[in-house]
Amino acid sequence: MKCFLSISVILLLSLDLAGAILYYYMDDNCNGVVDISFIDQIRLQLTRRSSYRANMNCKLLITANTTDRLMLFFKDFDVETSASCNLDYLEVHDGNSINSPFVPGLSKRQCGSYMSSTVRKTSGNDLFLYFKSDSSWQERGFDMIITQYHTGMCQEDEFSCSNGRCVSSGLVCNGYNPCGDYSDCASELAAGVIAGIVVGSFVFVICVMCLILCRVRVVRRRRRQYDGLHQPVNVVATTTYGSDYNQPVPQQYPSMPYPTGQQYPNSQYPNQTYPN
């Protein structure tokens, strides 16, 4: 069991090396502000629970560096469907209040069980979200990725995307499309494939070694148990017949009485004489 736990830990650690991102939950920060000025990218979910609460009336402001802008896309979207989204809905505003215009492409209340993964962007460094639910039915909510970026000259610690955006180099090829056009992985593809092969091979070798070690330990343990139960016993005695030598003692059996002949009274059988 310990060997298999070790293998699991190794696999989890190797998988955790890629795609690390900070999670935030809107219902934990209702009517608050999340400042990502020093955070390059976040993953925002409506709730950490399996479904959002009833009668929610939640507002959240996402803000970044004054020189940056924000881009976002949805990984999942599941909000109670209604004809005009007047029951449960999400509003995404390009600004710092509910009075700000909607983010282009999301220019109305959003509800339903589907949202395209198209990348949207703000005109400034603020993004305002408003979510409302009634008491009738609750779904999963939403799951979105928000990344801060800027245009113009990229710094040394930034990556220059094909669409002219500059993002942190730490986001390159992390699986969350930080550029918005997937160009962050184009230059890293070959190196990423090689690195993936190396890491995968390393993990595989470790797993095989752990399995072999586990097997050896099991075999040795069983062998010790078997030897303990089936240890031969040699009984040797010393007997002298003219010269000293060791000879196994033969199996001893207890002495058994032998039956004697049945006795009959003399009167039953008269004496008989036989001719000479």
Query: What confidence score (pLDDT) does residue 225 get?
Result: 66
Query: What confidence score (pLDDT) does residue 208 get?
Result: 76
The CATH number assigned to the domain holding 75 equals 2.60.120.290
Provide the number of structural domains found in the chain.
1
Q: How far is CA 29 from CA 20, 61, 75, in A?
A: 21, 9, 20
Query: What confidence score (pLDDT) does residue 203 get?
Result: 67
Per DSSP, the three-state class of 244 is strand
Q: How far is CA 140 from CA 78, 113, 125, in A?
A: 5, 9, 28
Query: What confidence score (pLDDT) does residue 105 get?
Result: 94
Supply the range of the domain harboring residue 46: 20-184
Please report whether residue 234 resides in a domain. Answer: no
Query: What confidence score (pLDDT) does residue 158 get?
Result: 95
Query: What confidence score (pLDDT) does residue 218 get?
Result: 76
Please report whether residue 31 resides in a domain. Answer: yes
Amino acid at 222: R
Please report whether residue 61 resides in a domain. Answer: yes
Please report whether residue 90 resides in a domain. Answer: yes
Please report whether residue 272 resides in a domain. Answer: no
pTM of structure: 0.64
Please report whether residue 168 resides in a domain. Answer: yes
Q: Which of 140, 145, 143, 144 is nearest to 79 (CA)?
A: 140
Query: What confidence score (pLDDT) does residue 223 get?
Result: 72
Query: What confidence score (pLDDT) does residue 212 get?
Result: 85
Please report whether residue 257 resides in a domain. Answer: no
Please report whether residue 134 resides in a domain. Answer: yes
pLDDT tens sequence for the chain (276 residues): 445 444 444 444 444 444 579 999 999 999 999 999 999 999 999 999 999 999 999 999 999 999 999 999 999 999 999 989 999 999 999 999 999 999 999 989 999 999 999 999 999 999 999 999 999 889 999 999 999 999 999 999 999 999 999 999 999 999 999 999 999 998 554 444 455 555 666 767 786 787 887 777 777 777 776 666 555 555 555 555 455 555 555 555 566 665 555 555 555 555 555 554
